[in-house]
Structure 1
């Protein structure tokens, strides 16, 4: 029961990232890039504290660090900028679908030979996304913002593949966040000196608090909680539990942000999540 509760809290935290990002940008309380910078810094702070309390040191180097930092930065800012337009649930579904497709492609590249069941599941999931994003229908999202979220999904998939071999996932994530936050702060300062495109100072208290909450709680503490429960879950169980994240985001966006949940979105979600379920579970 304890593991079930902690797993449920983790999935709610992951889905909340979409809701917090969208609500912060919805009325211009903070711009997308500033949200990403603050989220990274808040996440870096809480993760560094957790690792220092555990180990009394934080190791910033290590194998795969360059790939981890680069993919994390691309994910954070692609995610934030996509929510200038996308609804929370729609964004979460695109992100989740591309993460799973990227990890499937990564398995192929590394020499795995997926079963027919996995091929079928990946095809159904990809088809659901393709149909949802096909331009021309009334509910079609902004192609630019959908593309940004797709890039974020690919980046998070690469981040996940890069970190699969690490023996200390929490320590590696903390190091990636700390380095990424330093780079983001430097970049924000550089761009602010050139023009007024990044306006952290003009953000409202509400916008800043949403970014801090997304970084420190739903990202930093969320990842820490996930790495706590992950050893207690089977691989397929861990994958299937993540199917709830887009569903929670869709429901949360509908309730908290009054986002329209269309029949097309529901059908697409069933196709994407059903395809992933088929791909990550065995016939038994």
Structure 2
């Protein structure tokens, strides 16, 4: 895939990650959707929309998806989704984002280092700048975090890191993503049965909108695009790019909710994106 396609598709995937955090916080905190309900509906709606897309393409039967994806990918996806939902019950947006994307980044970079990948001075500087800008961005919003929430979000970050590592080898990103979600349908149905017996689905209309949007669009379609671009991204670039997600979320707030553009956001964005640019240029130079 050429850079002309990789760059915009990577941005779309990162926008989807940002949207996921926003939808999750709106569902859990504004509409009081229970985390188990959110996780189950999110996974099932993602599986449903991906299955519809594949059936509409008429290129492969759903039974043929067993040859795609993997149980390890589905496992990491489930751990990430569950940890993400339950952690955000007790963590603020900024605190959760800091823990999640820091763990994602270091998981991917450490795995690459174990496999013999070495970075140059410019890449280290770029990563350092991105992390520094990321910490600077979330610092004013950091609160005394919940220990349980921190642990759950750290586990979610490591799981997403491994899910991304598996995706870097994907040859059929749409089929692999759909297969991973469809493998989680049985456990999602068990969770749904437990909910119906225990409390029943008592979700507000907007709670349904946020949860289904998180699953069908931000997760299902967004993760398929992420798997599409991952084979074309170096581990350092894939890792550090995800630190920009809170910036895109803030940019969405400016564009969609008329939130003000302040100096703090502008400095954070400049440092994070400047660090990412250094990493990309270093990889381009090495090639």
TM-score, L = length of structure 2: 0.75
- Give the structure 1 partner of residue 109 of structure 2: 104
Offset of residue 160 of structure 1: 0.9
- Give the structure 1 partner of residue 162 of structure 2: 158
- Give the structure 2 partner of residue 176 of structure 1: 180
Name whichever of 254-263 and 148-157 sits farther off: 254-263
- Give the structure 1 partner of residue 43 of structure 2: 40
1:67 lines up with 2:65 in the alignment: no
Offset of residue 129 of structure 1: 7.1
| Aligned counterpart for 1:189 among listed residues 179, 193, 208 | 193
Offset of residue 269 of structure 1: 7.4
**Matches for 1:1-284 after TM superposition, within 5 Å:** 8-54=11-57, 55-58=59-62, 59-62=64-67, 65-122=70-127, 139-144=142-147, 145-190=149-194, 196=198, 199=199, 201-226=201-226, 230=229, 235=233, 239=238, 242-252=242-252, 277-282=277-282, 284=285
- What is the distance in 2 between the residues matched to 1:265 and 1:85? 25
Name whichever of 57-66 and 33-42 sits farther off: 57-66
Can you give the 5+ residue segments of structure 2 that lack an aligned partner in the other structure? none
- What is the distance in 1 between the residues matched to 2:120 and 2:268? 24
Offset of residue 16 of structure 1: 0.8
Q: Does the CA-based 8 Å contact 1:69-1:180 persist in structure 2?
A: yes
Aligned alpha-carbon RMSD (Å): 4.0
- What is the distance in 2 between the residues matched to 1:259 and 1:142? 26
TM-score, L = length of structure 1: 0.75
- What is the distance in 2 between the residues matched to 1:22 and 1:257? 16
Offset of residue 273 of structure 1: 6.1
Alignment length (residue pairs): 275
- What is the distance in 2 between the residues matched to 1:224 and 1:184? 20
Offset of residue 147 of structure 1: 3.0
Q: Does the CA-based 8 Å contact 2:104-2:160 persist in structure 1?
A: yes
